[in-house]
Structure 1
Amino acid sequence: MASASTVRTASAFSRRSLISAGAVGVASAAAFGVLAPASADEVGVEPSTSAEEWTEEFFTRAETREGFVVDAMDDWQLANAKFIIAAVKGHGLGEEVAVIALITAIVESWLYNYEPAVDADSGGLFQQRPSMGWGTYDQVRHKQHALNAFLGLAEDTDAPGLLQVIPDVTYWESGTAAQTVQSSAHPERYAEQVAAARQIWERCAADVEPFTA
């Protein structure tokens, strides 16, 4: 298996600790409980999750990050997970790519479209940084653009995405593939979420239609 360093030897990315203090920070995690994500009432109107209802409002809505557990996912986490699966399917890609995208979004934002910048200018589902070529402030917080950029399918993004650095993910461990794109200071955290990502895929994939818009 190729190492990340053999594919991408230099990176200017800087990643925060998953529970680092920021706009929500440690105090917020303590207040709500790391294992108790915000309820749908706390984060806003219940989102739409059908392939026909992925709207611009959905793509750009910022949610509040409080926590992540598969069995305690709120409506926004579930909607975001389903969108990732739908969009990956829409690109003609399968489970392995979806799992890599899901584990990255879990680690980076606990499957919320996170608005405030925590690590420098990072934001969105994948905590992408405009200063590192991932797009504008608004683009990295636009779920469709952010996912396409992560996958390496956004034409207006300079940072290399998954399919650009690893054209065939078949022989890569999912956590290593995610780290190759993200260049995190905590690479071990992606592998820790593989089981959760696969559980989400198994629960949702059969009922999610491909999204191609």
Structure 2
Amino acid sequence: MLVSATTALSRRHLILAGAFGATSLAALGSLAPARADEVWTEEFMTRPETREGFALDAMDDWQVENAKFVIAVIKGHELDEQAAAITLATAIVESWLRNYEPEVDLDSGGLFQQRPSMGWGTYDEVRHKKRAIDAFLGLGDHSSAPGLLDLSPDFREWAPGEAAQAVQGSAYPDRYAEQIPAAQTLWERYSADVDPYTD
């Protein structure tokens, strides 16, 4: 379902209103910004990161910040731990929590290896972390590809790996479920100290 950017309510607001009710919609504008000591700049959101590898207890600073940023965006959309686990596990599988700049599989790129040719946005948009997360969730106005809330609005009732696969359509569907424990650990480590990000 696509909603024009010129409508009174954005696609994000319409989905959130349906999921959480009018009171949550009214509160959207009052969410706290990211912590003052944690500033995610445009440079952070678009910086090329191309080293491969993921080990939960050997993450470098960029992987940690990317994990925390995913959590902040999830919280900014008033979504929960289950949504975070699905999103983080997908980013672990697709990019090792790095924001790939080169095209590594056809025209794919970014945290989720989204393809511009499949409607996920432009070359730059799939590599912009906030836009890529929003698109994965189905809350990105720039993307015409169906995301998590489009394909599985009842995702809490799904096995997390299956919900991730519904969005990604991977040739290796079992890989997302394998990373759910790591994703849940990242939520447990960082969520209490990360404020919602809504910019």
- Structure 2: 5+ residue stretches without partners: 1-33
2:129 is the counterpart of 1:153: no
TM-score, length of structure 2 as denominator length: 0.81
| Residue correspondences, number | 165
Structure 2: distance between partners of 1:61 and 1:112: 10
Corresponding residue number in structure 1 for 2:124: 138
CA distance in 2, matches of 1:138, 1:66: 20
Matched, 1:212 2:194: no
Aligned residue number for residue 148 of structure 2: 162
**What is the deviation of 1:212?**
1.1
| Residue in 2 that maps onto 1:18 | none
Residue 89 of structure 2 is matched in structure 1 by: 103
Shift of 1:50: 4.8
Q: Which residue of 2 aligns with 1:124?
A: 110
Alpha-carbon distance between aligned partners in 2 of 1:65 and 1:129, rounded to the nearest angstrom: 20
Structure 1 residue runs of 4 or more that deviate by more than 3 Å after TM superposition:
49-52
Matched position secondary structure for 2:112: coil
CA distance in 1 between counterparts of 2:51 and 2:158 reads 29
Rounded Cα–Cα distance in structure 1 between residues aligned with 2:141 and 2:198: 16
1:8 aligns with: none
Residue 65 (structure 1) shift: 2.7
The corresponding residue for 1:58 is 44
The AA in structure 2 aligned to 1:208 is V
User: Residue 65 of structure 1 contacts residue 109 of structure 1 at CA under 8 Å; is this kept in 2?
Assistant: no
Aligned to 1:21: none
Instruction: Give the distance between the partners of 1:61 and 1:99, measured in 2 at CA.
Output: 24
Matched residues in 1 for 2:132 and 2:87: separation? 11
Counterpart code for 2:78: G
Q: Find the residue that maps to 1:53 and give its secondary structure.
A: coil
- Which deviations, in whole Å up to 9, do the C-alpha atoms of 1:134-191 show, x marking residues without a partner? 0000000000000000000011211000001111211101100000000000001001
1:119 is displaced (CA, Å) by 1.1
Query: Structure 1 length as normaliser, TM-score?
Result: 0.76
Give the aligned CA root-mean-square deviation in angstroms: 1.2
Percent of aligned pairs with the same residue? 67
Matched, 1:92 2:78: yes
The answer for unaligned runs of 5 or more in structure 1 is 1-48
- Over residues 41-60 of structure 1, what are the superposed CA-to-partner deviations in whole Å (9 max), with x where a residue is unaligned? xxxxxxxx956511111110
Cα distance change of structure 1 residues 167 and 149 upon mapping to structure 2, 3 Å threshold: same
- Partners of 2:35 and 2:58 in 1: CA distance: 21
CA distance in 2, matches of 1:199, 1:82: 12
Query: Who is 2:3 aligned against?
Result: none
Return the offset for 1:130: 0.2
